[in-house]
Amino acid sequence: MSKRLLIDVNVPRTAAASLARVIDQKTITWGPVTTRHNVIDYGPAFPDVGRFLRENIPFIPSLAIKGSEMGLEFFTYSLLDFERWNVPPPIDWAGRDICELFHLREIELNLGFGSVVMDANPETFRHFLIFLEKQLEEPLLLKLKAKMKQDQSRDCCHFVIAHRFGLDGFVTLDGDFIGPCNQVAKSLDIKLRCYSPKDICRKLRIDEIDESWFAARSDPHIFYEQV
Protein backbone atom coordinates (compact mmCIF):
# COMPACT_ATOMS: atom_id res chain seq x y z
CA MET A 1 0.00 0.00 0.00
CA SER A 2 1.33 3.42 -0.93
CA LYS A 3 -0.08 6.27 1.09
CA ARG A 4 1.69 9.62 1.24
CA LEU A 5 0.23 12.07 3.75
CA LEU A 6 0.91 15.72 4.57
CA ILE A 7 0.73 16.19 8.36
CA ASP A 8 -0.54 19.47 9.79
CA VAL A 9 1.38 21.02 12.70
CA ASN A 10 -1.64 20.71 14.98
CA VAL A 11 -1.61 16.89 14.78
CA PRO A 12 1.59 16.10 16.74
CA ARG A 13 1.21 19.33 18.76
CA THR A 14 -2.26 18.37 20.02
CA ALA A 15 -1.20 14.85 20.94
CA ALA A 16 1.40 16.41 23.22
CA ALA A 17 -0.36 19.53 24.49
CA SER A 18 -3.61 17.75 25.30
CA LEU A 19 -2.01 16.56 28.52
CA ALA A 20 -0.35 19.85 29.42
CA ARG A 21 -1.08 21.89 32.51
CA VAL A 22 0.55 25.07 33.84
CA ILE A 23 2.01 24.37 37.28
CA ASP A 24 3.96 27.57 37.94
CA GLN A 25 5.25 30.79 36.40
CA LYS A 26 8.88 31.91 36.40
CA THR A 27 10.64 35.18 35.59
CA ILE A 28 13.87 34.62 33.67
CA THR A 29 16.50 37.33 33.18
CA TRP A 30 19.11 37.03 30.45
CA GLY A 31 21.34 40.10 30.39
CA PRO A 32 19.11 43.16 29.89
CA VAL A 33 16.09 41.05 28.85
CA THR A 34 13.53 39.78 31.36
CA THR A 35 10.76 37.39 30.26
CA ARG A 36 7.96 35.52 31.99
CA HIS A 37 7.45 31.82 31.34
CA ASN A 38 4.76 29.31 32.20
CA VAL A 39 6.16 26.12 33.72
CA ILE A 40 4.22 23.31 32.05
CA ASP A 41 4.02 19.72 33.21
CA TYR A 42 1.99 16.87 31.75
CA GLY A 43 -0.72 14.89 33.50
CA PRO A 44 -2.10 11.38 32.90
CA ALA A 45 -5.64 12.36 31.94
CA PHE A 46 -7.07 14.38 29.08
CA PRO A 47 -8.53 17.70 30.19
CA ASP A 48 -11.76 18.92 28.68
CA VAL A 49 -10.52 19.32 25.11
CA GLY A 50 -13.88 18.76 23.44
CA ARG A 51 -15.34 15.66 21.85
CA PHE A 52 -13.65 16.02 18.44
CA LEU A 53 -10.13 16.26 19.85
CA ARG A 54 -10.78 13.65 22.53
CA GLU A 55 -11.87 11.15 19.86
CA ASN A 56 -8.89 11.90 17.61
CA ILE A 57 -5.99 12.08 20.08
CA PRO A 58 -5.61 8.27 20.57
CA PHE A 59 -5.31 7.83 16.80
CA ILE A 60 -2.36 10.24 16.42
CA PRO A 61 0.42 8.02 17.79
CA SER A 62 -1.28 5.03 16.14
CA LEU A 63 -1.14 6.72 12.76
CA ALA A 64 2.55 7.52 13.25
CA ILE A 65 3.68 4.18 14.68
CA LYS A 66 1.42 1.65 12.98
CA GLY A 67 1.19 3.68 9.80
CA SER A 68 4.98 3.66 9.45
CA GLU A 69 4.97 -0.10 9.93
CA MET A 70 2.44 -0.35 7.09
CA GLY A 71 4.66 1.67 4.77
CA LEU A 72 2.89 5.04 4.99
CA GLU A 73 5.02 8.11 4.32
CA PHE A 74 4.50 11.39 6.17
CA PHE A 75 5.48 14.80 4.82
CA THR A 76 5.96 18.42 5.83
CA TYR A 77 7.14 21.52 3.93
CA SER A 78 8.43 25.05 4.54
CA LEU A 79 5.14 26.75 5.53
CA LEU A 80 4.41 24.01 8.08
CA ASP A 81 8.01 24.39 9.29
CA PHE A 82 7.36 28.10 9.83
CA GLU A 83 4.27 27.25 11.88
CA ARG A 84 6.16 24.67 13.90
CA TRP A 85 8.82 27.21 14.87
CA ASN A 86 6.16 29.48 16.38
CA VAL A 87 4.53 26.99 18.74
CA PRO A 88 5.94 24.98 21.66
CA PRO A 89 7.57 21.72 20.52
CA PRO A 90 5.32 18.61 20.44
CA ILE A 91 6.92 16.96 23.47
CA ASP A 92 4.47 14.81 25.38
CA TRP A 93 4.53 14.28 29.12
CA ALA A 94 6.79 11.23 28.80
CA GLY A 95 9.37 13.37 27.03
CA ARG A 96 8.60 11.94 23.58
CA ASP A 97 8.70 14.17 20.51
CA ILE A 98 5.54 13.25 18.61
CA CYS A 99 6.99 14.65 15.36
CA GLU A 100 9.80 12.12 15.54
CA LEU A 101 7.25 9.31 15.57
CA PHE A 102 6.12 10.40 12.10
CA HIS A 103 9.64 10.53 10.58
CA LEU A 104 8.51 13.53 8.54
CA ARG A 105 10.02 13.97 5.09
CA GLU A 106 10.49 17.44 3.62
CA ILE A 107 8.81 18.49 0.37
CA GLU A 108 11.23 20.67 -1.59
CA LEU A 109 9.16 23.49 -3.10
CA ASN A 110 11.93 25.14 -5.15
CA LEU A 111 9.84 28.28 -5.58
CA GLY A 112 12.69 30.78 -5.38
CA PHE A 113 12.09 32.27 -1.93
CA GLY A 114 15.83 32.49 -1.31
CA SER A 115 15.87 36.29 -0.97
CA VAL A 116 14.32 36.07 2.49
CA VAL A 117 16.06 34.30 5.36
CA MET A 118 13.87 31.44 6.60
CA ASP A 119 13.41 32.02 10.32
CA ALA A 120 10.72 32.21 13.01
CA ASN A 121 10.15 35.95 12.61
CA PRO A 122 6.37 36.62 12.25
CA GLU A 123 7.01 39.21 9.54
CA THR A 124 9.01 36.68 7.52
CA PHE A 125 6.17 34.22 8.01
CA ARG A 126 3.65 36.76 6.68
CA HIS A 127 5.74 37.58 3.61
CA PHE A 128 6.31 33.91 2.87
CA LEU A 129 2.58 33.17 3.06
CA ILE A 130 1.83 36.01 0.62
CA PHE A 131 4.58 34.76 -1.69
CA LEU A 132 3.35 31.17 -1.51
CA GLU A 133 -0.26 32.10 -2.24
CA LYS A 134 0.86 33.95 -5.39
CA GLN A 135 2.85 30.92 -6.52
CA LEU A 136 -0.09 28.59 -5.89
CA GLU A 137 -2.76 30.76 -7.49
CA GLU A 138 -4.97 28.22 -9.22
CA PRO A 139 -8.70 27.27 -9.19
CA LEU A 140 -8.33 24.95 -6.19
CA LEU A 141 -6.73 27.61 -3.96
CA LEU A 142 -9.11 30.33 -5.11
CA LYS A 143 -12.21 28.20 -4.44
CA LEU A 144 -10.88 27.06 -1.06
CA LYS A 145 -10.14 30.63 0.08
CA ALA A 146 -13.57 31.77 -1.09
CA LYS A 147 -15.27 29.08 1.01
CA MET A 148 -13.09 29.16 4.14
CA LYS A 149 -12.60 31.64 6.95
CA GLN A 150 -9.77 34.15 6.57
CA ASP A 151 -7.69 32.49 9.29
CA GLN A 152 -7.78 29.19 7.37
CA SER A 153 -5.71 30.47 4.44
CA ARG A 154 -2.69 28.47 5.58
CA ASP A 155 -4.69 25.24 5.60
CA CYS A 156 -5.82 26.08 2.07
CA CYS A 157 -2.17 26.33 1.02
CA HIS A 158 -1.36 23.03 2.75
CA PHE A 159 -4.10 21.23 0.83
CA VAL A 160 -3.01 22.74 -2.50
CA ILE A 161 0.61 21.72 -1.83
CA ALA A 162 -0.53 18.16 -1.08
CA HIS A 163 -2.46 18.16 -4.37
CA ARG A 164 0.37 19.69 -6.41
CA PHE A 165 2.92 17.14 -5.16
CA GLY A 166 0.65 14.14 -5.69
CA LEU A 167 0.09 13.18 -2.06
CA ASP A 168 -2.84 11.01 -0.99
CA GLY A 169 -4.17 13.12 1.87
CA PHE A 170 -3.81 16.09 4.19
CA VAL A 171 -4.23 15.18 7.88
CA THR A 172 -5.37 17.97 10.21
CA LEU A 173 -7.24 18.56 13.44
CA ASP A 174 -9.04 21.64 12.11
CA GLY A 175 -12.50 20.07 12.19
CA ASP A 176 -14.15 23.11 10.57
CA PHE A 177 -11.84 22.82 7.56
CA ILE A 178 -12.18 19.13 6.66
CA GLY A 179 -15.77 18.96 5.38
CA PRO A 180 -15.81 22.18 3.30
CA CYS A 181 -12.35 21.38 1.91
CA ASN A 182 -13.51 17.98 0.65
CA GLN A 183 -16.61 19.56 -0.87
CA VAL A 184 -14.42 21.91 -2.91
CA ALA A 185 -12.13 19.05 -3.98
CA LYS A 186 -15.11 17.00 -5.16
CA SER A 187 -16.55 19.96 -7.08
CA LEU A 188 -13.25 20.20 -9.02
CA ASP A 189 -13.04 16.41 -9.53
CA ILE A 190 -9.90 16.24 -7.38
CA LYS A 191 -9.29 12.89 -5.68
CA LEU A 192 -7.18 14.27 -2.83
CA ARG A 193 -9.01 14.37 0.51
CA CYS A 194 -8.57 16.06 3.87
CA TYR A 195 -8.75 13.75 6.92
CA SER A 196 -8.76 13.87 10.67
CA PRO A 197 -6.39 11.33 12.30
CA LYS A 198 -9.39 9.20 13.24
CA ASP A 199 -10.82 9.31 9.71
CA ILE A 200 -7.61 8.23 7.98
CA CYS A 201 -6.97 5.52 10.59
CA ARG A 202 -10.47 4.11 10.14
CA LYS A 203 -9.99 4.17 6.37
CA LEU A 204 -6.70 2.26 6.70
CA ARG A 205 -8.01 -0.03 9.48
CA ILE A 206 -5.59 1.27 12.09
CA ASP A 207 -6.90 1.00 15.65
CA GLU A 208 -6.44 3.75 18.21
CA ILE A 209 -3.55 3.30 20.61
CA ASP A 210 -4.25 2.06 24.14
CA GLU A 211 -4.52 4.86 26.71
CA SER A 212 -1.72 3.24 28.70
CA TRP A 213 0.66 4.57 26.00
CA PHE A 214 -0.08 8.09 27.18
CA ALA A 215 0.67 7.09 30.77
CA ALA A 216 4.08 5.65 29.90
CA ARG A 217 5.96 8.35 31.70
CA SER A 218 9.67 7.77 32.09
CA ASP A 219 10.90 10.91 33.86
CA PRO A 220 9.10 14.12 34.80
CA HIS A 221 9.20 16.51 31.87
CA ILE A 222 9.03 20.24 32.40
CA PHE A 223 8.64 22.68 29.54
CA TYR A 224 9.03 26.46 29.78
CA GLU A 225 6.65 28.43 27.57
CA GLN A 226 7.22 32.18 27.16
CA VAL A 227 4.14 34.33 27.88
Task: Quote the pTM value.
Answer: 0.77
> Do 80 and 9 form a contact (C-beta atoms < 8 A)?
yes
177-193 per-residue burial string, b: 16 or more CB within 10 A, e: under 16: bbeebbebbeeeeeebb
Nearest to 189 by CA among 224, 223, 163, 161: 163
Phi, psi (rounded to 5 degrees) for 114: -70, -15
Q: What is the mean pLDDT of each run of 10 residues along the chain (227 residues)?
A: 84 68 72 72 55 85 93 90 70 70 87 52 69 78 84 88 93 93 93 95 92 59 49
Can you give the C-alpha Rg of the chain in angstroms?
Answer: 18
